[in-house]
Amino acid sequence: MDHLKIYHDQEAKTLTIWFDDPKKEFLVDEVEEDLSLIKR
């Protein structure tokens, strides 16, 4: 795994984990009410 970026937004109460370059990701799929996956 070359890139791992973690963003925590306390105000929005979100945690975003990027396993690659965020610019490559573009498809968001809501898995559950409080869980979304961002895929390429």
**Could you tell me which residues come within 8 angstroms of residue 37 by beta carbon, excluding any fewer than 6 positions away?**
28, 29, 31
For 1-40, the pLDDT digits (tens) are 567 888 899 998 888 888 878 787 677 888 888 888 877 6
Per-residue pLDDT at 12: 86
Extents of the domains making up the chain: 5-39
C-alpha pair distances (Å), 12 with each of 34, 39, 40: 12, 21, 24
What is the torsional sign of CA 18, 22, 25, 29?
Answer: positive
